[in-house]
Each structure stands twice: as C-alpha cells, then as structure tokens.
Amino acid sequence: MQYTLPPDGQTSEMFWDAQDRAYGSVYVECRCGIDHYAVDTRNLYGDDPEFPEESDTVRHHGDCVSIGHFEFIGQTFVYGCEGCSKVLRRYEDFIWSERETIRNYLKIRIDQEKKWADQEHLKNLLAGIE
C-alpha cells in the first residue's frame, strides 16, 4: 500500500493502520465526546432498537454493525471521527518530528532492559534456577 499524508490536518492512514489493538462495538463514546452508534445492529438481532437522534454529539453509522475504535494514551479514538483524526494528527506530527529522540530513547531503554534481563538470568543460574 502506498501511503500519503493528507494535507487537511487529518491523521494519515499509516497512523491509523499502526494501531495494534482495534475493537468493534455497537456503541462508543470517543475522546471528542461524541456518541457513535452502529445502527445496522437491528439487522443482526432482528429487532429495531431505539437510538437517540443525530446531533453534534450523536453520530449514526448506518452502514456498519460495529464501530471501529482503539485506545491510545488512555483515550478512545473512533475511525472516521473528524475530531479524533485531528487530535491524532497532532500526536502523529509530534512522533515524526521527535523521531530521533524517540529512537535514541528506545535504543537506550532496550539496552538497559537487556542488561536487567541478563542480571536476572545470572541470579537465577547462581540460585540453581534454569
């Protein structure tokens, strides 16, 4: 897949695709405070559930049976939510602009974690635990 960075301040598909813990639900409240409803659930269960009217804080997703979302920095972000996309773009821009610092930190952290693991392994060997 060829990715492009959208010029309109929205998060790139690359950043959305990088999320490794995506979920689906019939109802989600995103970090923007919008209630998202998958209104096609009536087809799943054979009933016609009641949903609040659409408004600035309520969005219906009529073409799906679940709302795609993920947790990031302790907040819920919904795929397709314009507000969520704008917030994520700020994180994406920050990560990219600080990639050298982040890369250096990860290298130092991984090296330290390896040292600690080696020390624990040595302690286990000395204690007769393999």
pLDDT tens figures, 68-127: 899 999 999 998 899 999 999 999 999 999 999 999 999 999 999 999 999 999 999 999
pLDDT of residue 63: 73
What is the rounded average pLDDT of the residues 3-16? 81
More reliable by pLDDT, 1 or 119: 119
| Amino acid at site 124 | N
